[in-house]
Amino acid sequence: MSAEALASKQIVELIKSQNWEVGTHLPAQMLADRLRVSRQPINGALALLHEKGFLTRERNRGYFIARPFIEPMADIVNALGVGETDAVTSVYFRIAEDLLKGELPLEFSEQLIKSRYKLTAAQLSGVLGRISQEGWAERKPGYGWMFSSMLSTPDSLLQSYRLRLALEPAALLEPNYRLDPGAVARCRAAEQHLLDGGIETDTADQLHDRGVRFHETLVEASGNVFFIDTIRRVNRVRRLLSYRSMQDRSRYKQHCSQHLHIIALLEREKNEEASAFMAEHLRSTVKNIEKLKAILDNPK
């Protein structure tokens, strides 16, 4: 699976999760930053989406959404001709689970992954590319790969939340804090989508990315580049363990309600109240994760 094909699916998922309307401009650099990939696969993905009629292109301006993305994701993937991405995603999660169960060594070769999961060369490239982009494995100098040891225990997830508990409430109190109305609308729509049934039907990827985007949007509004860079880094690190905690989705309705309350406070410029409530929201999440320790330690 090529990087361009994978990026095209990720772009569509982003458009759907953010409820971007027809006519929305899709700058390549913005997409590369949001998806944490280089410009090269993004440019190829935009060209593919344009070729398939999902985007329009204007000279010297770039790409724009051509029509609503209302079909199920599976139908869009088939229309793009990138269905193999599903195979890559399936193997991605198998690798994640095997790593967390201690069934994979921290140092590994491409041949080990290819033979263990019966991958084609293209699938191997796709899955290792995704894992590398998300920050939980990297190529070693010379030969082979290494998984990050930071991601191998439930305590790592708890530690990442404790860092966020120190950082995110403070970000809301920055003196030049400004949350764009368009960002508010996108966050609110994403939370409402979950309350309308997405909690049960969305994939683990979609659930994780929705939460990441909400919290990063609020921190980005602080304008503090150190806060912004730190939250992006910690979100990359915690992705792997977050997936396993999603086996229990019972807490997501509460999360959505809390997110909507924080947005409402920020809209009314009650940042001190929003900061205090954000701290309480993250503390409750830490307590929930501690309750889920059995799932994190012993997946079925």
Q: What is the CATH number of the domain that holds 249?
A: 1.20.120.530
**Helices 39-51 and 3-18: angle between axes, nearest 10 degrees:** 70
253 and 279 part of one domain? yes
237 and 118 part of one domain? no
Of the chain, the end-to-end C-alpha distance in Å amounts to 29
Which whole number is the average pLDDT over 196-212?
Answer: 82
> What is the per-residue pLDDT for 284?
85
215 and 191 part of one domain? yes
DSSP per residue, 46-83 = HHHHHHTTSEEEETTTEEEE-S---S-HHHHHHHHT-T
41 and 106 part of one domain? no
Give buried/exposed letters for 226-242 (b at 16+ CB in 10 A, else e).
ebbebbbebbbbbbbbb
166 and 136 part of one domain? no
279 and 164 part of one domain? yes
Residue 208 pLDDT more than 90?
A: no
Q: Identify which has the larger pLDDT, 65 or 4.
A: 65
Residue 64 pLDDT more than 80?
A: yes
183 and 283 part of one domain? yes
> What is the per-residue pLDDT for 265?
97
202 and 88 part of one domain? no
**Band (277; pLDDT cuts 50, 70, 90):** very high
Residue 83 pLDDT more than 60?
A: no
- Token pair recorded at residue 94: 């198998």
Among 132-136, 213-217, 280-284, the least confident range:
132-136
> What is the per-residue pLDDT for 10?
83
Question: With pLDDT > 70 as the criterion, what percentage of the chain qualifies?
Answer: 85
Q: Show which of 131, 150, 169 is a domain's final residue.
A: 150
List of residues 6+ apart from 193 with CB closer than 8 A: 17, 19
268 and 179 part of one domain? yes
Q: Show which of 41, 64, 80 is a domain's final residue.
A: 80
Q: Show which of 22, 48, 80 is a domain's final residue.
A: 80
170 and 289 part of one domain? yes
Looking at beta carbons, which pairs linking 26-33 to residues 24 or more positions away fall under 8 Å? 26/55, 26/62, 26/63, 26/64, 26/65, 27/62, 28/62, 28/63
Please give the Cα distance from 153 to 234 (Å, whole number).
15
> What is the per-residue pLDDT for 202?
80
> What is the per-residue pLDDT for 300?
47
Residue 138 pLDDT more than 50?
A: yes
Contact 201, 74 (CB under 8 A): no
- Token pair recorded at residue 36: 């944490």
Please give the Cα distance from 296 to 287 (Å, whole number).
14
Residue 78 pLDDT more than 80?
A: no
Question: With pLDDT > 90 as the criterion, what percentage of the chain qualifies?
Answer: 33
Residue 227 pLDDT more than 80?
A: yes
Which whole number is the average pLDDT over 208-213?
Answer: 83
> What is the per-residue pLDDT for 91?
87
Helix then strand then coil, in percent of the chain rounded to 5, is 70, 5, 25
Residue 51 pLDDT more than 70?
A: yes
Average pLDDT taken over every residue of the chain? 83
Q: Which domain range does residue 169 map to?
A: 154-297
Residue 179 pLDDT more than 80?
A: yes
Residue 260 pLDDT more than 90?
A: yes
The predicted-structure confidence for 25-34, as pLDDT tens digits, reads as follows: 999 999 988 8
The CATH number of the domain holding residue 129 is 1.10.10.10
37 and 132 part of one domain? no
Domains held by the chain: number: 3
Which whole number is the average pLDDT over 98-126?
Answer: 88
272 and 161 part of one domain? yes
Q: Identify which has the larger pLDDT, 89 or 218.
A: 218
Instruction: Please provide residue 264's backbone torsions phi and psi, each rounded to the nearest 5 degrees.
Output: -60, -40
Which whole number is the average pLDDT over 131-146?
Answer: 84
For the full predicted model, state whether its pTM sits above 0.75. Answer: no
